[in-house]
Structure 1
Amino acid sequence: MEHRARRGQDATPEKGGSRRTVPVAVRGWRFVRQHEPGRYAAYRRRARSYPRCPFQEGAHTRRRSITPRVPNGGHRSFEGGRLPRPPRSVLSVDPGPWVSDLAESPWRRVWTLNVDDVFEAAYRKTAMANSRQLEVLDWQSPYAESGRMQVVHLHGHVHDEIPRPVIFSLAQYVSSAENKSVWFSMLKDIVAAEPLVIVGARMLDDPDMEALLVDNRPVNTAPSVVVDPYIPVDREWQLRQWGFDVLKMTGQDFTLWWRGAVDVASITAAGAISGIAVPQFHALDTSVVAPPRRGHDLYSGDHPEWHDVVHGKHALFGWVRSEIEAVEAWADQPMPDARLRTIYAPRLSGTTTGLLALAREAVRKGIRVFLFDRSSRWHAGNLCDLARVGPTVFIIEGAADFGDDIDRTLIEAAREELPIYVVASDVRDNSVRFEGRLGGAYGQSVSGFYGGSLKSSDSSALLRKLADAGRLGALANVGDEARRTAISGLNVFSAMMLITRGERFETRLRHELLAADEWVARAALVLGLAAEAGRPVGIAELARAVGVTAADIASSAATDEARALLEVADSTVYARQREAAAKVAIASKGKPWARQVVEDAILRLAPQASQQGLRMRNRIPMLVGHLMTFKRLAPRLGGPADLEQFYENLRPSFGQWSARYWEQAALCARARRDWTVAESYAGEAVRILDDAYTRTTAGSVSMAYAADLAGLGLSWVELFEQGEKHYRAAFAHDRRDFVSALSFLRWCARLAESAIRGAGVFEGGAVRAAWDEVYVRVRVEASRAGEAEQTLSELERISARWNGVAGR
């Protein structure tokens, strides 16, 4: 990145027409040692902490032109020989005005080769810093999406007193590449999959950058831009061939142009900057809508997009009308309150399309609507700031994973009397987990929509919409009654597949899978398994999981063969047939093949699945956790004996840090009735992370062991006491954790059943006392929650089972 020479410096041209700024008349170190002993001592401390950094006594260092690589941001080169006195850190650089202007733009993340803190200094001066916390990382930091303003120093940094590895020489470049830093890998994925701006880097002169661009050509529909005022014509041509746009202007000129192009001044105005602070939420607008992608077809099963509902391609079902009326009634109040509206519905019930339709009508009524992308957790205060200008709706799918954040947001909104309406949806199996995370005093209600088979009125609405679009297929030649009969008992996805793709849908899908390239079949399996839990998968993650590049996926998805199975929506990929893709892939290729594909995918994604990322509910660790979940894998990929080696193969990558891994391995051993191994694995999970989840797993292992012995007529009391101890530790971590409490009650009922089967009688007085205590606590807590009806229903089912055996 080129910028104006400062006073006392000479801007001199270099070979090839580029320019490099060189400091002149810099005072020698002897002068500094004699006249500025404090400054000299600071340099000496820095030299000892960073022995490879080019600070030398007796000579000044030529200004290093370590060209900064800044996707999604930008800042200046590092000055190795002339540093100001550090006011608050080891190294502090005073940014120029244009760098501050650049820092004020709403970047999602900034990458740099600099080791100084010029961007951080510039950012702290902007209004952005008031709403989005700065997070400084280096190339060895664990990977996690935090929602903060992340600045990643790929060559290390010298911001503080703690020595950190920095990269200057070619040997260090090679060494860092061999170390396979997760941040270098992430940058490769981002270059290929997401739009970015690169300012100041001499693209093909830098060994990192050249390899990065050659191997990872951009596939996103939004442009990726390279800013370089002195790039030679041949290299400009090469970059354009690779898919990059090139702007021949200085960093300062680019900043002025960019601020006008994206209207930074209005974005950072009061009331609007908060939207930048929560990049996980995207504002929906009916006036500016991206056009549909080539080949996108909602009626053939493609994932619903905003433009589909804005252009009226959806059928408006009865439950959607009810939800629209509920939102409008809330917004029409003199003072709308903080409110949670929960929707529990099975997959493939049209929930996503219905929520987008709800958003369209809300936007048309002047209500602000934001859609959650499930990339990470958020700060409750920043989300509340969005509602300070008027009624605001937040749509959150997969809500159970983010229930604690939803609760905190609504508690704060209720305290400040902010008009926030959260529409939270998930499958009914996650209802207890979600309700256990809600404890605030705010309005709550549950939708009457339960998904599943289409109602008669909804079937008619769907058939009318398909008729208007000329997409009735074989049903075009039959009467209305015959059409309704054909799709009777089907959910909306199955009905559309039957109508638009024919009666032999699975047979056709099987042929398509067998005819596809091997990586396409692997992708269909991974995406199908992810779809079972509604886990979004980015194009970069999928490419890594199946061993191809993002460019391979983007180019192949344009072919008829791959497009029949995969849909690429900018940076996200979907299986067109959702979970049916996994079912047919396993049936076609076999369970051993499927186990190997899943194992390979998990191991390839392992470097990006950190504990920090899991804590932030990032997409990759959540996907990896889903792919290794025993209760989901066992019915599909083989029994406990088949999966034993599967978990053993994952141990080198996850055994040192992942409690989740040990939990699943313990559950697999429990299913094999290998009790010693199961207890050992569950204990390892608790050792790594002692929380409600690991304690519940350990408790379930002990209780299962006790039930096994009770069924044989052997002593089980000691194991019960051990299990109860684990469960009570789980309760102590989170008193409102209904999942742990209900698990304990279920195992008590199973233990009683086993004891009767083995000894003919159940004498467990301690079990009865513990049951009564936990049952009453859950009953009181769930009733206090107001709308925890799913928890109460499940509690009564378990109670009926307990009363059926404990009363004997």
Structure 2
Amino acid sequence: MIPEELLTTFQDTLFRGNYNLLLGSGLSLDSKNEDGEFLRSSEKLRLHLCQITDAPESTTLQRVYALLNSQQKEQEIVKPYNKCVPGTSIQNVPHYIWRRLFTFNVDDVIENLYRSSTIAKQSIKPINYNYPLEPTPKANELQAIHLHGWVGEPHQEFVFSHTEYARVMRELNPWTYMLAEILATEPFIISGTSLNEGDLEYYLSTRNATTPRRDRGPSLLVEPYPTIVTKKDCERFGLILVTATFGDFMQWLRTQFPTPPTISELIIPNVDSLFEVQPKNAEWLRFFSDFEIVTPKNISTPSKPVPFLYGRSPEWADLDTHIDIEREDNSKLKKIVDKCFAYDIMEKIIIVLDEPGTGKSTSLRRIAHDFAMAGIPVFSTKTLSRIDKDIAIKCLSNLKAKRVLILVDGFADHVDQIFEIMKDDNVAEKIVVLAAERNYRKPYIDLVLSQVGVKAYYLSNLSQTECQQLINQYQRYGLIANSDALRKPDQFAMKIRKDPVAIAICRILNDFRPLDEIIESLWLEAHEDDRLAFLTVALAQYCYWAGVRYSLLQKIMGPNCSIRRMFSKDVPLRLTQHATENDFVVALHPVVGLKTLQRSSKKDTAEYLFNVFCGLAIGIAPHVNRNAIRNRTPEARLSSRVLDADKVVRPFLGSFAEKLYDNIQSAWAWNSRYWEQRALLVSENDIDTALQYARHAVAIENHPFTLTTLGKVLLLKMEKSDVGRESKFLEALDVLSEAIRLETYGARISVHPFSVLFEGVVRYLELSGSAIPFRQRQIIKEHMTDAEFRFKYDSGIISALSRLDEIF
């Protein structure tokens, strides 16, 4: 049924659970309702509704549905499509693992199939079209998204009429947006619907033969009676036509691939011997969805260049082949980790902090690989969302080993969960955390870990010996084009000694030219669309270490710009998949991404970069809601950084910064952080408007973050004008005290409202010279006592407390 040459990639994608299903009414025709009647097809339903409403027989389903009253909708739609018994054509669906299931059907056939099936590998989770967008589920859960409504939610409107369909589209429904986005790039099996249906045409409008990913299996249209138009459409949309009924196709699938892996086989490694008490299977699934165990090997070096040599972050296979160079920093870090294991010391978290391109990820992975080779269990975080801390504590505390290493790259995104995990005594006594993060995230890490002892480590510049190792490695693979460098490697090693390792590699690959010259030449050689896509990825990667989701990037760029082409070797500004999460795209050479981003902010292309910011901010908006923010999904994390006025927007956009917030307001006005950042952006020049924005953020969400921002802006207002200075100070004290009070209900207490408050108290006393009322003075002293106890490792707080002690 599938061409022979595609079977291998099809099987690999199927067995990894990467196929999505898009199903229409044709799949339910052999299913029955609770009265034992076969379900009507959409055409038979249309004719029946015309008959009972006296509408002309030619009336479309959308128009005749609009004629029904509420009682008729209950009798003709809800009851006949409820409590269905699944037919034979879909019985084999639960035998395989699917990424998501989208359906145009309103019946409950799929739900009842999974609930009654004895071969189901996933649990079903029905989702109506008007539900908020949910994160990508764990592999053991299958989301069944009903795009036209569902009888399980009969009080919600069905999307049959043109009016309802237009309303859903106009409101940018997140599930319809998601389907249109992922249908362009991800593998789908489509059946039970024709390609010329209006809504399916909308979803396919973002797809053509060049948008699907090359690293996944083909997308299929399963259709028993294709026309010449159907065949032409399949060519246009890059679909493989399977001429069969869906039931016959699934039976062929069951015969051809009878034993697909279970969820446990996909996710859980063989680690029975590591645990004192074996966790339950469900607990293991959740733990190994968040972590992977490092299983090192010693393999001979490859004969051909691998992506790592071109600047990509290392995969574990790269460490197995020892294709990286030996760095003195690695030995120093290993000694620090050994010391943490050997002695009962407070500093159990070691963070390698540095700029992008210094080799943090490679050093971390090399050290982890070497410890694993020595027999110490090493677990590396792999989830891009929130770590399940309760499951992590339960599994880690059950480990037999007394020494366990936890590896966390992109530490800022998991710092609060690691903090909670380390608070458990059974875990803390046996684990050491080795982490890496970019320098500019340090203030946030300090805020979270202000109550914890942390060891910060900064990588050294490459030594002469290390530079020569690097040149020798690239010479071995024939990647040096400069003849002088081949004859005098020691002299050329001197040229790259002061460069971070990523810049050194970039220069080796580009004839040892200065980096700025390399960046300029790559930019000038690149196609216009490639520049836009590359800058979008570079901005996303700067804000969020994992970059941007492949399907989202393709959606932002549109169907006329093929993202997959930018993975080719002949493209100047190359992209690649993230080393540990292949749904995400990063710059092949991260330092080229960063330098290109910086170049665009300084040259006459600032307006060009402004369009990149707008495209990314608006593109991720449908993926972010309060549920996504709570779950720390990748898009939620990315959005919080893209909107950051002080660290991202103002530094890169300059005079275009305020215009950005104006342009994206319709997509983000619901979000309190959006108004916080607008307040901070305009606070220098328009403090009154800033105060309005900060109050609006609190009105949207009474949260410690919004209250802290309001307190900060009130204190700025207090500084700028002596009119009402005391009232502004006292209001700021109340607001910040409320932020601190709300913090106590959370898992951790942030230092930020304390530091803003203490600085504000000092400034108020300096400016006014008047005493603080007794009651407020007592409140401040209580906060000082609290801060001294909670943040004894925070030098900033200790310094502020010393100043306040002198004043009081």
Whether these two folds match at TM > 0.5 is yes
In the alignment, is residue 496 of structure 1 matched against residue 505 of structure 2?
A: yes
Choose the corresponding residue for 1:659, options 645, 666, 672.
672
Partner residue, 1:629:
644
User: What SS is found at the alignment partner of 1:204?
Assistant: coil
| Other-structure match for 1:523 | 533
The equivalent of 2:14 in structure 1 is none
Cα distance in 2 between the residues matched to 1:110 and 1:371 = 30
Query: Which deviations, in whole Å up to 9, do the C-alpha atoms of 1:414-468 show, x marking residues without a partner?
Result: 48x998765443345544644655699xxx8745532364467755654554455
**Residue 282 (structure 1) shift:** 5.6
Quick one: distance in 1 between partners of 2:509 and 2:489? 17
2: CA distance, partners of 1:185 / 1:288: 46
Tell whether 2:678 aligns with 1:687. no
Q: Corresponding residue for 2:4?
A: none
Q: Which amino acid aligns with 1:592?
A: E
Helix, strand or coil at the partner of 2:562: helix
Partner Cα distance (1:143, 1:190) in 2:
14
Q: Which of 101, 111, 135 is equivalent to 1:110?
A: 101
Q: Report the secondary structure of 1:521's partner residue.
A: helix
Q: Verify the 8 A CA contact 1:343 1:424 in the aligned structure 2.
A: yes
- Following superposition, the deviation at residue 168 of structure 1 comes to 4.4
Contact 1:695 1:730 survives alignment (8 Å): yes
Deviations 1:249-289 (A, max 9, x none): 43244246555143568559996665654645566666899
Return the offset for 1:83.
9.6
1:700 aligns with 712
In the alignment, structure 1 segments of 5+ residues that lack a partner are 2-17, 30-42, 44-49, 59-65, 67-79, 784-788
Please name the residue that 1:397 is paired with.
409
Cα 1:462–1:155 change in 2 (3 A) is same
Shift of 1:637: 3.8
Alignment of 1:182 with 2:139, yes or no, is no
Deviations 1:202-250 (CA, angstroms, capped at 9, x unpaired): 4536554455456424214021453738365965796478555566643
Q: Does 1:595 align with 2:595?
A: no
- For 1:781, give the aligned amino acid: R
- Give matches, 1:336-735, under 5 Å: 341-348=349-356, 349-361=358-370, 364=373, 371-373=380-382, 375-383=384-392, 395-409=407-421, 414=426, 423-431=434-442, 433-434=444-445, 437=448, 446-447=454-455, 449-451=457-459, 453-454=461-462, 462=470, 465-466=473-474, 468-469=476-477, 471=479, 475-478=485-488, 480=490, 482-483=491-492, 485-501=494-510, 502-535=512-545, 536-545=547-556, 547-549=557-559, 552-558=562-568, 560=570, 562-568=571-577, 571-575=583-587, 576=589, 577-633=592-648, 635-639=650-654, 642-655=656-669, 657-672=670-685, 674-709=686-721, 716-735=725-744
One-letter code aligned to 1:591 = A
Separation (CA, whole Å) in 2 of partners of 1:705 and 1:403: 33
What displacement does 1:665 show? 0.7
Specify the alignment match of 2:796 in structure 1.
Answer: 794
User: Is it true that 1:192 corresponds to 2:184 in the alignment?
Assistant: yes
Alignment partners' CA distance in 2, 1:339 and 1:105: 46
Residue 102 of structure 2 aligns to a residue whose secondary structure is strand
SS of residue matched to 1:671: coil
Corresponding residue number in structure 1 for 2:324: 314
Within 2, Cα distance between the matches of 1:519 and 1:305?
29
Q: Secondary structure at the match of 2:516?
A: helix
1:209-358 matches, cutoff 5 A: 209=200, 212-213=203-204, 215-216=206-207, 217-226=211-220, 228=222, 230=224, 232=226, 239=234, 242-244=237-239, 249-255=248-254, 257-258=256-257, 260-262=259-261, 266=265, 276-277=285-286, 279=289, 281=291, 297-321=307-331, 341-348=349-356, 349-358=358-367
TM-score by length of 1: 0.74
CA distance in 1, matches of 2:544, 2:311: 15
* Residues 281-316 of structure 1: CA deviation (Å, up to 9, x unaligned): 566666899x99x99643343343444333322224
Please tell me whether the aligned partners of residues 396 and 423 of structure 1 are also in contact (alpha carbons under 8 angstroms).
yes
Distance 2:319 2:577 in 1: 19
Please, which of 194, 197, 204 is the counterpart of residue 195 of structure 2?
A: 204
Q: Sequence identity of aligned pairs in percent?
A: 18
Q: Whole-Å Cα distance in 1 between the matches of residues 108 and 28 of structure 2? A: 21
Q: TM-score, normalised by structure 2?
A: 0.74
Match of 1:147 in 2: 137
Task: Check conservation: 1:342, 1:424, Cα contact below 8 A.
Answer: yes
Q: Alpha carbons of 1:541 and 1:503: their partners in 2 closer, same or farther (altered >3 Å)?
A: same
- Partner deviation per Cα, 1:716-768 (whole Å, 9 max, x = no partner): 22212111112111111224898853454356446635764x57x68568787
Structure 1 residues 419 and 527: CA distance shift in structure 2, 3 A? same
Cross-structure match for 1:15: none
Amino acid at match of 2:503: S
What SS class does the counterpart of residue 617 from structure 1 fall into?
A: coil
Answer yes or no: is the 8 Å Cα contact 2:672–2:700 preserved in 1.
yes
Q: Secondary structure at the match of 2:322?
A: coil
Shift of the 308–431 alpha-carbon distance from structure 1 to 2, 3 Å rule, reads same
CA contact (8 A) 1:339 1:420 kept: no
What amino acid sits opposite 1:564 in the alignment?
L
> What amino acid maps onto 2:720 in structure 1?
D
Q: 1:20 to 1:375 in 2, by over 3 A?
A: closer
**CA distance in 2: counterparts of 1:447 and 1:125, whole angstroms:** 54
- TM-superposed CA distance for 1:504, in Å, is 2.2
**Could you list the per-position Cα deviations for residues 542-563 of structure 1 after superposition, in whole angstroms to 9, with x for gaps in the alignment?**
2333x32386121244373x44
Taking the aligned partners of 2:347 and 2:586, their CA distance within structure 1 comes to 32
How large is the RMSD of aligned CA atoms in angstroms? 5.1
What amino acid is aligned across from residue 638 of structure 2 in structure 1?
A: L
Paired with 1:306 and 1:52, the residues of 2 have a C-alpha distance of: 60
Q: Distance in 1 between matches of 2:399 and 2:91?
A: 28
- Partner AA of 2:131 in structure 1: S
Write the deviation string for residues 101-154 of structure 1: whole angstroms up to 9, x where unpaired. Answer: 643644343322332334444545689999x88643222222231635352423
Aligned residues: 721
After superposition, the C-alpha distances for 1:80-113 in whole angstroms (9 at most, x for unaligned) are 989999xxxx944455799676436443433223
The answer (yes or no) to whether the contact 2:385–2:632 under 8 Å persists in 1 is yes
Is the 2:679–2:691 Cα contact (8 Å) retained in structure 1? yes
Task: Say if 1:753 and 1:477 are closer, same or farther in 2 by CA, change over 3 A.
Answer: farther
Contact 2:485 2:492 in 1 (8 A): yes
Distance 2:78 2:95 in 1: 24
Please say which of residues 91-100 and 626-635 is displaced more in the overlay: 91-100
